[in-house]
Structure 1
C-alpha cells in the first residue's frame, strides 16, 4: 500500500515527532503562509487529531499557542511476524504501549492458528481498555521477508517452522478478521522505524539496523527515510560474500556468504559437529531427548545458550567466531553506507555480551577513516519491542 504525503500528513507527523510545537515553528519549517497554516491547524483540531498544549514563552508579543497530537484520537496495533517469536502491541497516538503479548513460533503456528491468536489478542486488548473497534486507526505488520509490500503478501520465508506461509495475503486476511486497515513492511524496516522514533530527539538521519537470528536481516535509513530497492532486500545482507569459494564453479561462492557463518542455524550446525566428535565439555547438561542420526545430539539454540552460560569453551569460541564474521560484514556495510548510528538486534546478539562486544570491536577495526569517523553502536532502546512498535509508527506516520 502506497502512502500519499499530504500537507496535513506532513504537519501532523512533524508535530508527533517533536511532541510540542508552535505555529511559528511550523510556518518556518513548511514555508507555508500564515493563513494556510492556521486553517490547516484548525482542521486538525476540529478532527480531534491535534489539541492545544498551553502557551509558550513570549518573545515580546503575545505568548504563542503550542500544539501537540491528541493521544486518544485513535489507537494503533503493531504486529511482529518472525521465525522464532512473534508479538503484538496496542499503542495510543503518542506511542505509549498499553498492552502487549509475545509467543513462540513453532511447527504448530500455521497461518490459521496464527491469525486466530492475533484476533484473540486484539479482542482481549480492546476489552481490557474499554475500546471500540472503530477507535482503531490501523495495524502495522513487520514480517519476515521476502514480501510484496504493495500487495500485502508474505512471499517465500525460509527457516519458518510451520507450513503454509508461502504467498500468504497477510494484509487481506487480517483486514477480513479485524475490520481495520493493515500495512505491511519487513521486520527490519519496521524495527529501524521504531528505533528511529524512539531516538527522535537526537535527530539521527543516517542509520543502519542489523538483526541476527535464524537468518540475517538489515534495514537502512538515509536522510531520515527508509531506503528501498527494486525488490525486498531485508535478507540481502546474509548473501554478502565474505569468503569466496571456487569461482570457476557457478554458485559455489554462496557457501562463503555471511549467513553461512553468522546465524542461529550456522552455529547449531557447527556445534552439532563438535558434539558428534565428543569435543564439548557440557554435553550432559544440555543433552536432548533424541539423537541426530544416532551420531550426535539434537542441538537447539536454547541448548546452545545453556552451554554458553555453563562456560563450555568450544561453544563460547563458536559464538565469538560468528561475532567476528558479523563484524566483518558490518564493516563492509559501514564503509559503503557511512551511518551515524548502527543498531544491532536479534537472538544471536543478545545471547551473550561477548557477541555484541566482539562484533563491534571487529567492525570498528575495519572501518575506513576510523577513528576520525566513529559510528555509534547500540542494541537499541526498544530491543525486542522494536519490530512491533515500529510497525505501529508506520501506521501513525501515514495519518491523517
Structure 2
C-alpha cells in the first residue's frame, strides 16, 4: 500500500506563512495575475509582497510567467500557479455510479474513471478499487508521493464531516454502507490526507470554481437523481447546518396529505416522493400495470419493470405517457425549487443529476415553474444552469476541496 512507502504530508503545512496562503489563494483563482494587481488586492507593502512572492516561488508552488502590459511604467511581473507542484484526487461516492478524478494544482483534469455500484460493491471492495486506481494513475502520470496533496470525497449523506464517517445513507445496492469510516479507510490504504463532505457541497465547490470570475455571492446546487440533494454557498463559503442537510430538500413537504415516503423515516407528501428517479419509475410502472399504452411495452420483457434508462429512451421517442409523467414530476420539482428561491434568494442555481442531464424537458419545465412561482419575479432574476462539469461535478469539487486545504 502507499502508506507503507511514505509518511503522510498534511496539506496545510505545505505553505507555512498565513500571508503566503492568502496570496496563493488570490493567485490560484486567476490563470495569471500581475504583481501590481496583487499589490492592490492584498493590501501588502511592496517589500512584504515581494518577500512573500519570493517565498512562494522558493517553495515551487508558483512561478513567474512573464511580463504584463505596461500602464505607463515598468512592465509588471506575472505570476501563475505551478500546475505540476501537486495533485489531488476527487472521489464521488454515490448510489448508482461513483467516480474518481485526478486534478493538478491549477485545477486541470488529468484523468477520470467511474464504477457502477452493484450488489457486490461493499465499502471494503470499493475502497480497494479506489486504491488500485490511485496507484495506477500515480505510475501513469509519474506522480511522486510527495506531490500528492490528498483526496477529497463527496459522498451521499447523511454523514459526519468531522469524524469522516458516512452515517446511514439509503438505497445502496450493496450491504454495509451504514456507519462507514470512509476517511480512515482511505487514509489507511493511501497514506495521504483525505477530507469528506457531502456530494452536493463538493459539486457546488466545482461550479463555484467554474464561475470564480463572475463574483456570484449566493449560489445553490441541487442534484436530482435517486434522491434530491442540496448544497448552499454564500460569499464563496459553504453553508453547513447543525447536522448534514444534504437530503433535507427532498423532505420538503409539498402535499401534507400526500403519498407516504418510501421508508418509514420520511415525511408524507415529501418532494422526493413526487420528483425523483424513484418517483418517475413508480408512476411509469403503475400505469404500465394498468395497461396504459406506451412504447415501453415493446422495449421490455413481459412483467419486467421499467428502469430509468428505459424511461429516458421512451421520452426521447416522445412517448405520451412518459412525457406526461416526467412533466408532472418536473412541475413538482419546480414548486419545491420556488420555495427555495423565495426563502434563500440565490443569484445562481445549478441543477445537476440524471434528471437534469438526461432530460431537457425536466430542466425546462422545472425552471419555468420555479420562475412563475417566485415571489419577487420579474424584479428578482435568478440564473439557472446545468453547470460546467455535468456528472463529474461531485468528484471534481471533491478534488478542489482538497486543494483548498493548502490555504486553510
Calculate the TM-score normalised by the size of structure 1: 0.93
Q: 2:290 aligns with which of 270, 273, 277?
A: 277
For residues 142-291 of structure 1, the aligned pairs below 5 Å read 142-245=154-257, 254-288=267-301, 291=303
Q: Which residue of 2 aligns with 1:315?
A: 322
Q: Specify whether residues 140 and 253 from structure 1 end up closer, same or farther in structure 2 by C-alpha distance, changes over 3 A only.
A: closer
Deviations 1:377-399 (A, max 9, x none): 11011111111111111111111
Query: Residue in 2 aligned with 1:134?
Result: 146
Residue 3 of structure 1: how far off its partner (Å): 7.4
- Give the aligned CA root-mean-square deviation in angstroms: 2.1
The 3 A distance-change label for structure 1 pair 288 and 10 is farther
Matched ranges for 1:79-94 at <5 A: 79-94=91-106
Partner of 1:140: helix, strand, or coil?
strand
Q: Map 1:316-331 onto structure 2 (within 5 A).
A: 316-331=323-338
User: What's the offset of the Cα at 1:288?
Assistant: 4.4
Tell whether 2:112 aligns with 1:122: no
Q: 1:258 to 1:200 in 2, by over 3 A?
A: same
Residues 84 and 104, structure 2, Cα contact 8 Å, conserved in 1:
yes
CA contact (8 A) 2:296 2:306 kept: no
Indicate if the aligned counterparts of 2:200 and 2:231 stay in contact, CA closer than 8 A. Answer: yes
Take 1:206 and 1:3, find their aligned partners in 2: how far apart are those partners? 27
The answer on whether the counterparts of 2:11 and 2:150 sit within 8 Å (CA) in structure 1 is no
Q: Which runs of 5+ in 1 are unaligned?
A: 292-296
Structure 1 residue 10 displacement after superposition: 2.2
* Corresponding residue to 1:62 among 51, 74, 98: 74
Q: Is residue 374 of structure 2 the alignment partner of residue 367 of structure 1?
A: yes
Which region of structure 1 is more displaced relative to structure 2, 138-147 or 346-355? 346-355
Paired residues of 2:39 and 2:49 also in contact (CA < 8 A): yes
1:138 CA drift (Å)? 0.7
Aligned to 1:395: 402
Conserved 8 A contact 1:88-1:102: yes
Aligned 8 A contact 2:296 2:310 in 1? no
- 8 Å Cα contact 1:2/1:150 also seen in 2: no
Cα deviations by residue, 1:70-113 (Å, 9 ceiling, x for unpaired): 10101111111111111111111111111111121121111111
- CA offsets per residue over residues 176-231 of structure 1, 9 Å max, x none? 11111111111000001101101212222211111100000011111121111111
Task: Provide, for residues 10-34 of structure 1, a one-character-per-residue CA deviation record: whole Å limited to 9, x for no partner.
Answer: 2212111112222332232232233
> CA separation in 2, counterparts of 1:175 and 1:89?
17
Q: Is the Cα–Cα contact under 8 Å of residues 202 and 393 in structure 2 kept in the other structure?
A: yes
Query: Does the 8 Å CA contact 2:357/2:390 hold for their aligned counterparts?
Result: no
Which residue of the partner structure matches residue 61 of structure 2?
A: 49
**Which residue of structure 1 lines up, in the alignment, with residue 123 of structure 2?**
111
1:376 aligned residue (357, 377, 383): 383
Q: Is the 8 A contact 1:208 1:218 kept in 2?
A: yes
Which of these residues, 13, 26, 30, is aligned with residue 14 of structure 1?
A: 26
Deviations 1:238-288 (A, max 9, x none): 011111128xxxx99922111110111111111121121111422433324
Distance 1:146 1:7, change over 3 A: farther
TM-score normalised to structure 2 length? 0.91
2:358 and 2:141 map into 1 onto residues whose CA distance is 35
**Cα distance in structure 1, aligned partners of 2:298 and 2:184:** 46
Q: Deviations over 1:315-353 (max 9, x none)?
A: 111111010011111111111111111110111122321
How many residues align? The count is 390
The answer to whether the Cα contact below 8 Å between 1:244 and 1:253 also exists between their aligned partners in 2 is no
- 1:294 maps to none
Q: Distance in 2 between matches of 1:311 and 1:58?
A: 59
CA contact (8 A) 1:280 1:315 kept: no
Do the aligned partners of 1:80 and 1:143 also contact (CA within 8 Å) in 2?
Answer: yes
Is the alpha carbon distance of 1:285 and 1:128 closer, same or farther for their aligned partners in structure 2, counting shifts above 3 Å?
A: farther
Moved over 4 A (4+): 1-5
3-state SS of paired residue (1:62): coil
